[in-house]
C-alpha cells in the first residue's frame, strides 16, 4: 500500500469513527465545505464530501450543546492528524474517546512502519 492509499484509509477511518461515536450519542451533523453548510444523515454523506474537499468543518449539535471539528486532508503524517482543530469541550467531556484512541493506534502503526524502513 502506498502513502496516498494509507493517508486516504486513515482519514476515512477517523471520519468514520468521529461520525459513529457522536452519532451513537445522539448528535446531528452538518458539514461546512468552505461555501455551504451541508446537512448529513450518514457517514457516507461525509465521505462523499470528503472525496471532493481538501478541508471541512463538521458541526455537531445535541440539544443546546454545539461543537465542531475541522479537518485538513492530505497532510504529511499519513492522514493521522487530519482532525487538526476541535471544540475543546469534545475532549473535555470525553465525547471522542474512541476517536482519540484510534488516532493513537494509527500513530503507533505509522511509527512501526517507519521503523521497518
Each residue's pLDDT tens digit, 74-85: 877 899 999 999
| CA atoms of 105 and 62, how far apart (whole Å) | 28
The pLDDT value recorded for residue 117 is 65
**Residue 9 in grid coordinates:** 484509509
Q: Lowest-confidence range among 52-61, 62-71, 75-84?
A: 75-84
The number of residues in the chain equals: 117
Q: What percent of the chain has pLDDT over 90?
A: 79
**Portion of the chain with pLDDT greater than 70, in percent:** 99
Cβ(55)–Cβ(71) under 8 Å?
yes
93 vs 20 pLDDT, higher one: 20
- Single out the residue of 73, 88, 82, 74 nearest to residue 103, CA to CA: 82
Number of structural domains in the chain:
1
**Alpha-carbon gap, residue 63 to 77, rounded angstroms:** 35
Amino acid at each position: 500500500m502506498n502513502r496516498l492509499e494509507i493517508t486516504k484509509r486513515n482519514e476515512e477511518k477517523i471520519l468514520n469513527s468521529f461520525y459513529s461515536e457522536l452519532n451513537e450519542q445522539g448528535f446531528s451533523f452538518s458539514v461546512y465545505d468552505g461555501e455551504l453548510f451541508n446537512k448529513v444523515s450518514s457517514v457516507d454523506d461525509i465521505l462523499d464530501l470528503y472525496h471532493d474537499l481538501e478541508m471541512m468543518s463538521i458541526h455537531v449539535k445535541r440539544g443546546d450543546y454545539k461543537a465542531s471539528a475541522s479537518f485538513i486532508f492530505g497532510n504529511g503524517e499519513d492522514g493521522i492528524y487530519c482532525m487538526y482543530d476541535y471544540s475543546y469541550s469534545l475532549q473535555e467531556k470525553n465525547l471522542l474517546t474512541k476517536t482519540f484512541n484510534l488516532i493513537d493506534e494509527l500513530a503507533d502503526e505509522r511509527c512501526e512502519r517507519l521503523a521497518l524502513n
